[in-house]
Structure 1
Amino acid sequence: MLYSVCFYAKRTDVVLLDTYSTSNFYYAVLVSQLCRFLSLPYIPILHGGNLPNRLHTSPKMCGLLFKHATYLVSPSLYLLGVFEKLGFERVVYIPNSLQLEQFTFQEKTYDTIRLLWVRSFSHIYNPTLAVRVLKRLQDAGYSCELCMVGPDTGDGSFQATEKLASDLDVTVRFTGKLPKTEWLALATHYNIFINTTNFDNMPVSVIEAMALGLPVVSTDVGGMPYLIDDGDTGLLVPVDDAVAFEEAILRLVGDVAVTRDMAVRARGLVEGFDWEVVKAAWFEVLS
């Protein structure tokens, strides 16, 4: 990241700096200070669902990173409110975008429960919860399967998830990280998307699932209630609550007509995130 800034500095008008809340945060701080040294305007894009905590635990570094930025772009109204409340100025809401033509809406059937989880394997995303939910559903007598898509971040959570699946004697399909085209094709075989995170902002994977017609059950954290209207465009449940996840999933499969209407409303919502709509906001900021 630092090399790229130096290499492209003379050909660059502004640096867009994806900013997360864990180890990437430190890279973002370093890049921002290099931009200041090179007199390059930079715009942090606030992705990290745990950034509110980072604002409190690393106030000096947050000051270096955020207070000298040209703008702060927040993909969620949740982080927009957090940053404005703490006195940060020039915070602009621009949602994560997708190219909607890539996402074919598909009506789902629910003869069996086919769960899809898409995220990097990290403790903050609580991947083991997905395995516990699978176990509860199978123990209750439901035909259920689980596919987990995403890379191993190296914090031990992938190994813990594999071990739990083995200990509970359930079969989980682990695909690793997939190119967009492959996971879009994979998603056609599943009928419910689960988002198990302990912290979140405005995850692209959830937006994409909604675009595909997958009803979403998510933890009620961070920016999720700003994206999902509980009971209308998806279902929200408490953090780390396998029982609540099980009940929400059974609610979806128990009333297929209501679930299909929910999926249609979710698709209508995310149509507002199409790049053809969102790019106007970016043009305004960059100009």
Structure 2
Amino acid sequence: MKNLLYIGNKLSGHGFSVTSIETLGPLLESEGYDLVYASSKKNKMARLLDMLSATVRLRNMANFVLIDTYSTSNFWYAFLVSQLARILGVKYITMLRGGDLPKRLANHPRLCALIFNPAYKNVAPSGYLLDHFQKQGFRNMAYIPNTIEIDNYPFKKRVIEQPKLLWVRAFAAIYNPFMAVEVFKVIKEQFSEATLCMVGPDKDGSLEKTKKLASAYGLDIKFTGKLSKADWIRLSEDYDLFLNTTHFDNTPISVIEAMALGLPVVSTNVGGIPFLLENNKTALLIEDGNTEAMAEAIKAIVKDKNTADSLAQNARLKAESFDWQQVKLFWNEILREQ
């Protein structure tokens, strides 16, 4: 049995979105790995101290330290834990979660070399990040995509007449929830019975700003707040198009889940998205921030039943490649190769 220390933000108990530590971790446990997690502390400093403490405490037990590595402020958790693990002689694996990590590589090359060069492996969940890291000269790379359990996502064939739009993400400026409101405003001009539901917790005050924008336009938008995975999957049955409006992205699980459920996807073509989605095959992709183009893409799907069906079917096939039964083979190859 392999013993693993998983470092990440395990904060769903405090009202935040479920992240990889709470999805991948249990899946690894189901494969027979013994995991310890850090951290579920809400306070950032307490969380950092818990992560560092766990690394010291488990230095002689853990075969690997798995580190969720983001691109903004949470990058520093990964940096400090990785340096401590290196000093203690514990093998660590960075899991590249931040869609803006290429910018971090460009702006802080020496800092990035300190964390990524000594890593046992740097695991990229997208071809986008794999490509950027390899171009920067990192050779200890592995591609392992984000994963879902496909049996939990029943495919539904949808008949779209009045577009029922679904948006699922944390409310944060980098995910541009305001664009969904702007797009919905345009759609309502042609489809009077169109609806929009926005699912997710607030991260940086964007939820209230989004609600104010909707109110200013006189739009009736459903805001559910944070929902459990099971609840939003049930909710998805009442909607027929999925919007992804983000400015930056890697390989978002919410988009993969929408693909699995049979929701045609319209997304901004940013970051790792073009490595995940193929325009006119598994989704319709538009330029970042182009409200009119996103609205036109939605209208095209509503107008052409064959387009909607083709996008949904192709996306489902793509989503099946992210099933845990396939992805676990990549993880086992790394974690059991010692």
Q: TM-score category by the smaller chain?
A: over 0.9
Specify the alignment match of 2:257 in structure 1. 208
**Residues 162 and 191, structure 2, Cα contact 8 Å, conserved in 1:** no
User: In the alignment, which of 216, 219, 238 is matched to residue 170 of structure 1?
Assistant: 219
Specify the alignment match of 1:222 in structure 2. 271
Unaligned runs of 5+ in 1: none
User: In the alignment, which of 176, 184, 192 is matched to residue 241 of structure 2?
Assistant: 192
Q: How far off is 1:134 after superposition?
A: 0.7
Post-superposition CA distance 1:64-101 (Å, at most 9, x none): 21111111100101110100001111111111111111
**Aligned partner letter, 2:199:** V
Specify the alignment match of 1:119 in structure 2. 169
Specify the alignment match of 1:143 in structure 2. 193
Specify the alignment match of 1:80 in structure 2. 130
Please say if 1:261 is aligned against 2:288.
no
Q: Measured at CA, do residues 172 and 99 of structure 1 come closer, stay the same or move farther in structure 2, by a change above 3 Å?
A: same
Unaligned runs of 5+ in 2: 1-50
Specify the alignment match of 2:31 in structure 1. none
User: In the alignment, which of 92, 97, 100 is matched to residue 150 of structure 2?
Assistant: 100
In the aligned structure 1, how far is the partner of 2:61 from the partner of 2:227? 32
Specify the alignment match of 2:141 in structure 1. 91
TM-score by length of 2: 0.82
**Residues 74 and 95, structure 1, Cα contact 8 Å, conserved in 2:** yes
Which is worse superposed, 77-86 or 19-28? 19-28
Aligned-partner SS, 1:229:
coil
Post-superposition CA distance 1:76-129 (Å, at most 9, x none): 011101000011111111111111110100011213211111111111111100
User: In the alignment, which of 11, 15, 32 is matched to residue 61 of structure 2?
Assistant: 11
**Residues 163 and 191, structure 2, Cα contact 8 Å, conserved in 1:** no
Post-superposition CA distance 1:130-170 (Å, at most 9, x none): 0001111112344211111112112x322221111111111
In the aligned structure 2, how far is the partner of 1:237 from the partner of 1:129? 12
Q: Measured at CA, do residues 188 and 141 of structure 1 come closer, stay the same or move farther in structure 2, by a change above 3 Å?
A: closer
In the aligned structure 1, how far is the partner of 2:285 from the partner of 2:256? 15
Q: Which has the higher contact order (CA 8 A, sep 6+)?
A: 1
Tell me how large the CA RMSD over aligned residues is: 1.3
In the aligned structure 1, how far is the partner of 2:317 from the partner of 2:249? 22
Post-superposition CA distance 1:176-222 (Å, at most 9, x none): 22211111111111110010011111111100100000000000111
**Residues 113 and 142, structure 1, Cα contact 8 Å, conserved in 2:** no
Post-superposition CA distance 1:232-285 (Å, at most 9, x none): 111100000110010000111111122112211110111111110111111111
Q: How far off is 1:7 after superposition?
A: 4.0
In the aligned structure 2, how far is the partner of 1:196 from the partner of 1:3? 38
In the aligned structure 2, how far is the partner of 1:4 from the partner of 1:148? 37
Specify the alignment match of 1:56 in structure 2. 106
**Residues 211 and 266, structure 1, Cα contact 8 Å, conserved in 2:** yes
User: In the alignment, which of 272, 278, 281 is matched to residue 330 of structure 2?
Assistant: 281
Aligned-partner SS, 2:288:
coil
**Aligned partner letter, 1:199:** F
**Residues 116 and 146, structure 1, Cα contact 8 Å, conserved in 2:** yes
Aligned-partner SS, 1:23:
coil
Which is worse superposed, 166-175 or 186-195? 166-175
In the aligned structure 2, how far is the partner of 1:120 from the partner of 1:9? 34
TM-score by length of 1: 0.96
